[in-house]
Amino acid sequence: MARRYRRAGGGIKAWRDVERTNSDNWWKPDMIRWQRSTMTPTAKTEAQGKIVTEIGSENYQAVCHFVIEGDYKADHQRDFEGAFAEYEKAWALLETAETRQLLGSDLLDAMLDFAARSGDQELIRRADRLNIVFQQEAQ
């Protein structure tokens, strides 16, 4: 639920502006684990631009959605298998080697973490396989 603040002299429009601003920002990449790394704000913008160019804005928004869902499942529901599945969906949308180079290592780090925290050996093997493929692709 978005917070509503009344701006001085703003009337009804001021309420609606704050409501729209809060609700439109739910998917923004600043809320995503892999975007909160050590990248500078300018580098974030450049990386986001490259990714959107490579996979399209709808796929980029879908990646953001899957990552947010995965983070929620891991952090709030302690459902590491579900979080891993959400991150796998995000990984599948990174179709090109360039997008995997930009986002892949952070996604894989989170996937390896989820697999380790779950204790499921099959999940750990799947994460390791993805990591090996990613490392080979990077060379």
pLDDT digits (tens, 9 = 90+) for 81-98: 999 999 999 989 888 888
Check residue 88 and give its pLDDT: 92
Minimal CA–CA distance to 49: which of 29, 25, 20, 68? 29
pLDDT above 60 for 130: yes
Q: The whole model's pTM is what?
A: 0.64
Q: How far apart are CA 87 and CA 6, in angstroms?
A: 38
pLDDT at 10 over 60: no
What is the rounded average pLDDT of the residues 59-79?
A: 90
Answer yes or no: are the C-beta atoms of 3 and 22 closer than 8 Å: yes
Find, among 33, 29, 61, the residue nearest to 46 by Cα.
29
